[in-house]
Structure 1
Amino acid sequence: MNDNWRDRVAAIWSHADSLADGDVVNAIDELVAERDADDAEALFEAAGARDYAGREAEAEPLYRRALESGLDATRRPQAVIQLASTLRNLGRIDESIAMLERQLHEHPDDEWTGPSAAFLALALASRGDSTQAVSVALMALADYLPIYSRSIRSYAAELVAD
């Protein structure tokens, strides 16, 4: 049942751009209703749908419940990033930054490093720390450069050196 449910969720997301925001929320909610009220994966999908629709205030508690309900290791980092982004959009920038810094500490060198750093850079810029934001973004970007990685890391560190 999980695979079929996940396939149906993925199908909604695959054509979400062609749907009205409210239709995405409604379609996801129909699938969420098939699961238990405390199902972490379903809560995550409900939060994501609201986030997608620009309903961040509704998304935040759902993300928190998903994380508290034991969201699996595959989705947990994504939920943390999405919650942190939601918090930034709600004006709770320091909380967003703290979450993303913890996330980077927990995932210093995996597939979540780049996305976490990107959202941390956005949160830092929102707080007015543009130089630190650029440094974080450049550090993350350095991993993807075919050459100059060492130089970019060094220059990025210099930006925030005392």
Structure 2
Amino acid sequence: MTTDDALRARLDEIFAARDRAHMAPTIAAFREILAEHPDDPAVLYEVGGAYDTDGQEETALDYYRRAMAAGLEGHWLRQCYLQYGSTLRNLGRVDESLAVFDEALTRFPESESLGIFRALTLHAAGRPSAALGSVLAVIADRFSTPEVQRYEAALRGNAAYLLSLDDDQASPA
């Protein structure tokens, strides 16, 4: 299911006007659109994101799940995975968070942001070596600057070493 251009423009306008310190007007505006489009995946996602920004993580999780089940697609789905996985991590549900990030990276292997936020979850899971190793792998894989290219072998070697320090090895993102 795809959101039409006019609806997407309304959602983007509300998002652009949000005040992260005072989310009630944004939530109300998104919920008004939700009343008109109760099954639209983009609307469900934006409502979830607004609740998440407001610190209402448990409420946000339900909207993220519903958005994905309703057929959220493309970069919006990638963003939803990231926010969903991060929210689970923030709630201390690190195993669920890792599972979400692993699923997301299967669907979006080119995403630096998913790999980096997965590393935050590894750190929260008490696996700082794997977290740093994962970040180094993302840098080596996705940031092709002359300096990174010069030291690519060293970055990859250090990433592999750090990842090997965990008994339950994490694959580099």
TM-score (norm 2): 0.83
Correspondent of 1:33 among 4, 10, 35: 35
How far apart are the structure 2 equivalents of 1:18 and 1:74?
A: 22
**Unaligned runs of at least 5 residues, structure 2:** 166-173
Match of 1:21 in 2: 23
Give the equivalent residue in structure 2 for 1:123.
121
Alignment of 1:3-22 (within 5 A): 3-17=5-19, 20-22=22-24
Q: Which runs of 4+ in 1 moved over 6 A?
A: none
Gaps of 5+ in 1: none
Please tell me the root mean square deviation across aligned C-alpha atoms, in Å.
1.8
Specify the SS of the correspondent of 2:19: helix
5 Å-filtered alignment, 1:145-156, equals: 145-146=144-145, 147=147, 148-156=151-159
The answer for the alignment partner of 1:55 in structure 2 is 56
- TM-superposed deviation, 1:92: 0.8
TM-score between the two structures when normalised by the length of structure 1: 0.88
The answer to whether the 8 Å contact 2:45/2:63 transfers is yes
Contact 2:134 2:163 in 1 (8 A): no
Aligned residues: 158
CA deviation digits over 1:92-150, x for unaligned, max 9?
A: 11010111122223322x2xx21111111111111111111111111112221413233
> How far apart are the structure 1 equivalents of 2:51 and 2:23?
8
1:144/1:44 CA distance change after superposition, 3 Å: same
Q: Answer whether contact 1:56 1:90 (CA < 8 A) is retained.
A: yes
Give the deviation of 1:72 after TM superposition.
1.9
Match of 1:141 in 2: 139
Identity across matched positions, percent: 34
Q: In structure 1, how many angstroms separate the alpha carbons of the residues matched to 2:86 and 2:9?
A: 26
Alignment of 1:99-118 (within 5 A): 99-108=100-109, 110=110, 113-118=111-116
Greater RCO between the two (CA within 8 Å, min separation 6)? 2
Pairwise CA distance, 1:76: 1.5
Amino acid aligned to 1:158? Y
